[in-house]
Amino acid sequence: MLSLYKYTTDSLLFFNLRSIYFHLAIPQIFFALNLFTFFLFSAISLSARMANLVDKAMDYVSEKVANMPKPEASVTNVDLKGISFGSVEYLANVSVSNPYSHSIPICEISYSLKSDGRVIATGKVPDPGSLKASDSTMLDVGVNVPHSVLISLARDIGRDWDIDYELQIGLVIDLPVIGNFTIPLSTKGEIKLPTMSDVFA
């Protein structure tokens, strides 16, 4: 009887302790879950606000960059420059104005010459130099066209020694803050094919 009483007493004590533990633990668990939920939603809200701030900052920078003064360029003339053994060189004069009080490096000048719907010459200008500070700079863009291309073009077109052309130039400069910036240029007109007198001039 004493053993049974002791067993029953111990069981009741264990049950009461477990009941007390669960009664104490469950509120703590709910508190921890609520706290976790609060911090989670706070983090999400903060992340959304940060993303909104970043978007506004990017829009502000983009607007400022778009309104920054930039160099302007135009093609003033395209004409026959000379004839070599394998090609004919045309010269395009490009005027570029620099609004800044310091010189601007020219990274690259590329060109593409088209006639009768086909590309007849492409290339780049080596060592293009830089733009003068607060001034206009005249750039010479030499365009080399192989003799064979011009002869084929003249034969296919079947017209006089004037051909229609479209010249596209990409002027890449290094602007402060912005970095590499391309000024696209395009001009159309007529250029003369070289004659025999030009060859032996």
What digits encode the pLDDT tens for the residues 67-84? 678 899 999 999 888 887
Please name the CATH architecture into which domain 72-199 falls.
Answer: Sandwich (2.60)
Identity at 44, one-letter amino acid code: I
Looking at the chain, the whole-number percentage of residues with pLDDT higher than 70 is 58
Pair type for strands 130-131 and 118-124: unpaired
| Residue 13 pLDDT level (bands cut at 50, 70, 90) | very low
**199/139: higher pLDDT:** 139
Domain spans in the chain, listed from the N-terminal domain onward? 1-67, 72-199
pLDDT at residue number 147 = 78
Q: How many CA atoms lie within 13 A of 81 on its CB side?
A: 16
| pLDDT bracket for residue 43 (50, 70, 90) | low
pLDDT tens for each residue of 145-197: 887 887 777 666 555 567 889 999 999 999 877 788 899 999 999 887 766 55
Measured at the alpha carbon of residue 90, what is the angle toward residues 87 and 91, in degrees to the nearest 5? Answer: 140
